[in-house]
């Protein structure tokens, strides 16, 4: 039994897309990521008793939390310790529109919104650097050795240039991007994909190193394309990035199929996004109307869900099903 206080805090976070550079980023190469306007909203109330959680994954006492949420538990515990609060006396409600396990950064987004809410509830200041370190606790449970790109992008309101252990640089986009995201309907497996690349690196070092170096070059060129507003060059680079990810073995038949559907619909570029082995792909259109055409084709060709949006506004659209 718990007693609810009128003291409440509500905070949000958003999803993310890796535009170029996934997997290579694990090896210290640069990547570009952008905010994706799928949202997580967390409401926290002070109560008396155990910490209770209501979420799309689990509802109940934090003591009975499932293994897949152990990272969230550890993040909450450390956040409370940092502000000298007991690991108790909270009710946490998580509402999320981000599909779980699709390479869209759901675990980091949930941890960000929860951590922000805890600090807000107790009137404590929270720097972006401190938030990053707390959320990485949850991400380490979720992904093994995370690069930090999910957390960094979801803390930011802007596209970022990311390289491990280097300063995160906000990127200016000279021309709006019209992006389509399609969900295969199957969970991706970032942990396994990263591990597979690591094993391949051990057995086929030259091949993997060549791909990682090429992805790094693609990221550099993509940054230049964004700064110049050259969406046609950017699109070509997206296709090139996808081919390198295929060489690394992290794509699959369904992702490749959706990339080809987007290509046939006139997409300027398309590739998987995130860890791969399931999850999502993205495509680049010439306009919002063109993005809708691509999205409709992807939806009618097997994608379980499709969104499209412009980077100059915060609205997310779905094609008619």
Task: For 43-66, write each residue's pLDDT tens digit.
Answer: 999 999 999 999 998 999 999 999
Considering the four listed CATH numbers 3.30.230.10, 3.40.50.300, 1.10.579.10, 3.30.365.10, the one that applies to the domain covering 8-169 is: 3.30.230.10
Average pLDDT value for the chain:
94
The whole-number average pLDDT for the span 150-163 is 96
CATH assignment of 173-317? 3.30.70.890
The pTM (predicted TM-score) of the whole model is: 0.93
**Are 109 and 154 within 8 A, CB to CB?**
yes
pLDDT class of 141 with cuts at 50, 70, 90: confident
Residues with Cβ within 8 Å of 126's Cβ and at least 6 positions away in sequence, in order, are 115, 116, 119
Continuous H helices in the chain = 70-82, 106-121, 128-143, 149-155, 190-203, 205-228, 231-247, 253-264, 288-299
**Are 147 and 154 within 8 A, CB to CB?**
no
Token readout for 16 is 């993310």
Domain ranges in the chain with CATH number 3.30.70.890: 173-317
Give the pLDDT of residue 4: 44
The whole-number average pLDDT for the span 170-193 is 93
Token readout for 300 is 């009618």
Q: Is the pLDDT of residue 249 over 80?
A: yes
Among 95, 150, 195, 253, the active-site one is 150
Give the pLDDT of residue 214: 99
Q: Is the pLDDT of residue 3 over 50?
A: no
**Are 147 and 25 within 8 A, CB to CB?**
yes
**Are 278 and 252 within 8 A, CB to CB?**
yes
pLDDT digits (tens, 9 = 90+) for 102-115: 989 999 999 999 99
Residues with Cβ within 8 Å of 50's Cβ and at least 6 positions away in sequence, in order, are 2, 61, 62, 63, 88
pLDDT digits (tens, 9 = 90+) for 290-321: 999 999 999 999 999 999 999 988 788 888 65
Give the pLDDT of residue 321: 52
Give the pLDDT of residue 6: 56
* pLDDT more than 70, % of the chain: 98
Domain ranges in the chain with CATH number 3.30.230.10: 8-169
Token readout for 298 is 């992807």
Identify whether 150 is a catalytic site residue: yes
Q: Is the pLDDT of residue 78 over 90?
A: yes
Give the pLDDT of residue 5: 52
């Amino acid at each position: 039994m718990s007693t609810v206080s009128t003291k409440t805090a509500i905070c949000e976070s958003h999803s993310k897309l890796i535009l170029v550079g996934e997997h290579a980023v694990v090896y210290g190469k640069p990547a570009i990521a952008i905010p994706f306007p799928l949202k997580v909203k967390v409401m926290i109330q002070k109560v008396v008793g155990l910490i209770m959680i209501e979420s799309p994954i689990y509802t109940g006492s934090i003591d009975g939390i499932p293994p897949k949420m152990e990272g969230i538990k550890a993040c909450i515990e450390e956040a409370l310790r940092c502000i000298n609060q007991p690991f108790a006396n909270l009710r946490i409600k998580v509402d999320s529109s981000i599909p779980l396990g699709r390479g869209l950064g759901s675990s980091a987004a949930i941890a960000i919104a929860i951590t922000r809410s805890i600090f807000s509830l107790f009137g404590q200041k929270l720097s972006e650097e401190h938030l990053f370190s707390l959320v990485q606790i949850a991400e380490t449970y979720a992904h093994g050795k995370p690069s930090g790109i999910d957390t960094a992008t979801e803390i930011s309101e802007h596209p970022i240039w990311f390289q491990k252990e280097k300063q995160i640089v906000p990127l200016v986009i000279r021309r709006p991007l019209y992006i389509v995201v399609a969900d295969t309907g199957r969970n991706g497996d970032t942990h396994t994909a990263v591990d597979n690349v690591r094993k391949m690196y051990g057995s086929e070092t030259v091949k993997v190193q060549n791909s990682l170096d090429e992805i790094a070059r693609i990221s550099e060129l993509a940054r230049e394309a964004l700064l110049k507003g050259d969406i046609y060059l950017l699109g070509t680079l997206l296709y090139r990035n996808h081919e390198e990810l295929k060489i690394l073995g992290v794509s699959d038949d369904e992702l490749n199929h959706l990339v080809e559907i987007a290509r046939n619909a006139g997409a300027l570029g398309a590739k998987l996004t995130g860890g791969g082995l399931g999850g999502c792909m993205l495509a680049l259109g010439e306009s919002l109307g063109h993005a809708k055409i691509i999205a409709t084709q992807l939806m009618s060709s097997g994608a379980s869900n499709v969104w499209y949006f412009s980077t100059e506004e915060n609205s997310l659209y779905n094609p008619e099903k």
